[in-house]
Amino acid sequence: MSAISTDQPLLDVRRITKNFGNLVACNAIDLVIRAGEIHALLGENGAGKSTFVKMLFGSLQPVSGQIIWKGRPVSISSPAVARSLGIGMVFQHFSLFDSLTAAENIALSLDKAIPLSDIASRARDIGNAYGLPLDPNALVGDLSVGERQRIEIIRCLLQEPDLIILDEPTSVLTPQEADRLFVTLERLRSEGRSILYISHRLEEVKRLCDRATVLRHGKVVAQCDPRRETAASLARMMVGNDIGIVRRDAPAIGEGSALLEIAGLSQPSRGPFSTALRDMRLSVHAGEIVGIAGVAGNGQGEFFEAISGEVTQAGPDTIRIGGVAAGQAGISRRRQLGAAFVPEERLGHGAVPELPLTDNLFLSRYSTDSRTYLRGRSLKILAQDALQSAVKRIVKMMDVRKSGENPDASALSGGNLQKFIIGRELDRKPAVLVVNQPTWGVDAGAAAHIRQALIDLARSGSAVLIISQDLDELLEICDRVAVMNHGTLSDALPIGEVTLEKIGLMMGGVDAGHSVAGQASVGGMA
Ligand SMILES: Nc1ncnc2c1ncn2[C@@H]1O[C@H](COP(=O)(O)OP(=O)(O)OP(=O)(O)O)[C@@H](O)[C@H]1O
């Protein structure tokens, strides 16, 4: 790190502009960051935050404007140039190779060749120093999202950056992991480094950040000290009016028929870092939302794969959908039985980035709706008109903001793609919906929209299962909550019996769920 005088900004961005076709994603944005400050960049989905920081990191080029770095105008023509200047970035979507170890992934991103053993020991040291413990020899494919994020942060810190850009860092973390990250960030600040922090979680912005710049439709609409604002006033600056409140009537009591039944689901671990599932039991009934809480990496990913049919089971009865044994059925058959699935990772798993929205819709719907979306008797042709009108319907229902009629999935901002993927599954009115992390990276307004849509689906008679690390979200919308810990699933407690403290204990492995009186009558257990 080279020192700069305290009154000279570290970064001074002047009237920077970027457009995609007719859409002006960033419109003459001014922003100043001083040494040793944590600066929040706020804005609803599609406001232009990612586009802005990609220009600072050299992965996108502005059409006009100037970037002054440590008093000198610079042209950041590539990420390598950004890194050499001292600008590091931790992306919202990780760019790690599953089949390589943490250390090998870090080696690939370094601009100099350094022996792997040196990288592994430096990564371990940095991890320990900054409260981000990491096994450099672990295979990335076996790690949880939270652990993958640690690799990204450590590989960024290895380059000794003066400015670290973090895009939605806590959206994948548990409250405890987020607290640990804040300690790391405060430590970096005390070392004189600066952080540009994108987050939709306004409470944490208030707690952590020294200044905030708010974008709306690509323009700066406010700059403020977030500690002097309320979460509501920050949200108002972002959207220009008040955020909708999720409406829920009395919790459902699980008296509808069981539409998703999991009975004795066990699965060996598929590698040294994957979690074995042990005798899981749960029923989700028509009309209710059941939530699964838990620290990342306790089997949530494996559980989702087992329910969705990405990994099938030996016993047909371990999973029943709509009363039909489906344990040996693949994903298409489970869809035909009325189930729909939204995975955690939207790019590459929930959607194919380089395909347009119509094709992405077709890929998830052809097994259930081939009559609607395919024409011709033997020569099957995509019914583009039907696909386009379905995309329009979904875009309207979920308020997806996009540029162009039918853009590629990768051209949607993260939150808007999430709204599209959830809308694509809701559009089928599935009898069973299983969603992993429904509002990851989604702004407060869009999160409220998604949560309301999930409640409405359940109240219309479907069974909804949500896996989420956001405990506030689970408490807000679920009728019952179970906790996953080391590949086991607790009883699902009715929401009236759930407190944050009790869930926290269960997440730590304390059997708080079984101590509840009348547990046998809790309607969730098969
Ligand atoms: N490669 C691209 N091609 C076309 N349009 C794009 C592209 N990348 C972004 N956009 C559009 O630019 C606008 C700003 O997107 P951006 O990703 O910067 O928003 P954001 O504020 O980061 O949103 P989020 O909070 O959802 O991540 C959006 O309307 C988006 O659809």
pLDDT single digits (tens) 224-236: 999 999 888 888 8
Q: Is 347 within a domain? A: no
Distance CA 47, CA 218 (A): 5
* Adjacent-strand bridge partners of 464: 289, 433
Q: How many CB atoms neighbour CB 4 within 10 A? A: 16
**381: in domain:** yes
DSSP characters for 391-442?
HHHHHHHHT---SSSS-BGGGS-HHHHHHHHHHHHHTT--SEEEEESTTTT-
Locate the ligand 1 atom nearest the alpha carbon of residue 46 and give its number. Answer: 19
| Residue 348 covered by a domain | no
Separation between Cα atoms, residue 4 and residue 498, nearest integer Å: 51
Q: Could you say which of 363, 395, 429 is where a domain stops?
A: 429
Q: Are 191 and 312 members of one domain?
A: no
| Closest approach atom of ligand 1 to CA 402 | 31
Q: What is the pLDDT of residue 220?
A: 96
Give whole-number Cα distances, 243 to 238, 287, 418, in Å: 10, 26, 19
Q: Is the CB of 439 under 6 A from ligand 1?
A: no
Whether residues 435 and 296 fall in one domain: yes
The response to whether residue 413 sits with its C-beta less than 6 Å from ligand 1 reads yes
Cβ–ligand 1 distance for 411 under 6 Å, the answer yes
Q: Give the domain CATH number at 55.
A: 3.40.50.300
405/317 same-domain check:
no
How many Å lie between the centroid of ligand 1 and the Cα of residue 59? 14
Percent of the chain with pLDDT over 90: 59
Instruction: Examine the domain organization and report whether 294 and 376 are in the same domain.
Output: no
Ligand 1 center to residue 13 CA distance, Å? 19
Hey, is 250 helix, strand or coil? coil
ipTM > 0.85, yes or no: yes
Domain housing 498: 249-338+430-526
Give residue-wise pLDDT tens across range 87-102: 999 976 667 888 899 9
Q: Is 43 in the pocket of ligand 1 (CB under 6 A)?
A: yes
Q: Are residues 314 and 456 in the same domain?
A: yes
Q: Is 422 a domain residue?
A: yes
219-224 and 374-375 strand pairing: unpaired
Buried b (16+ CB within 10 A) or exposed e, 233-248: ebbbbbbeeebeebeb
Cβ of 70 below 6 Å from ligand 1: no
Which residues of the chain fall below pLDDT 70?
1-6, 92-94, 172, 174-175, 241-246, 248-254, 272-273, 377, 508-526
Q: For a substitution probing ligand 1, which of 50, 89, 357 has the most ligand atoms within 8 Å of its CB?
A: 50
Residue with CA at minimum distance from ligand 1 atom 28: 46
> Which tokens belong to 322?
């709509």
| Mean of the per-residue pLDDT values of the chain | 87
Establish if 366 belongs to a structural domain. yes
- Do the Cβ atoms of 265 and 238 come closer than 8 Å? no
pLDDT of residue 339: 97
Q: How far is the CA of 107 from the centre of ligand 1 (A)?
A: 30
Asked, for residue 34, whether it belongs to a domain, the answer is: yes
Residue 331 domain flag? yes
Rounded distance from Cα 51 to ligand 1 centre (Å): 6
Looking at the fold, whether 423 and 455 belong to one and the same domain comes out as: no
**Atom of ligand 1 minimally distant from the CA of 418:** 26
Count of domains in the chain? Answer: 3
Residue 200 DSSP label: S
Q: Whose CA is nearest to atom 9 of ligand 1?
A: 411
Q: What is the pLDDT of residue 274?
A: 77
62: tokens are 């502005």
Per-residue pLDDT at 519 = 34
Tell me how far the alpha carbon of residue 46 lies from the centroid of ligand 1, in angstroms: 5
Q: Same structural domain for residues 106 and 221?
A: yes
The answer to whether residues 122 and 106 touch, using CB atoms and an 8 Å cutoff, is no
CB of 45 within 6 A of ligand 1: the answer is yes
- Locate tokens 């970037």: which residue? 67
402 touches ligand 1 (CB under 6 Å):
yes
Provide the CA 471 distance to its chain's centre, in angstroms. Answer: 14
47 and 175, same structural domain? Answer: yes
CA distance 294 to 171: 14
| Ligand 1 atom with the shortest distance to the CA of 417 | 26
User: Are both 384 and 398 inside the same structural domain?
Assistant: yes
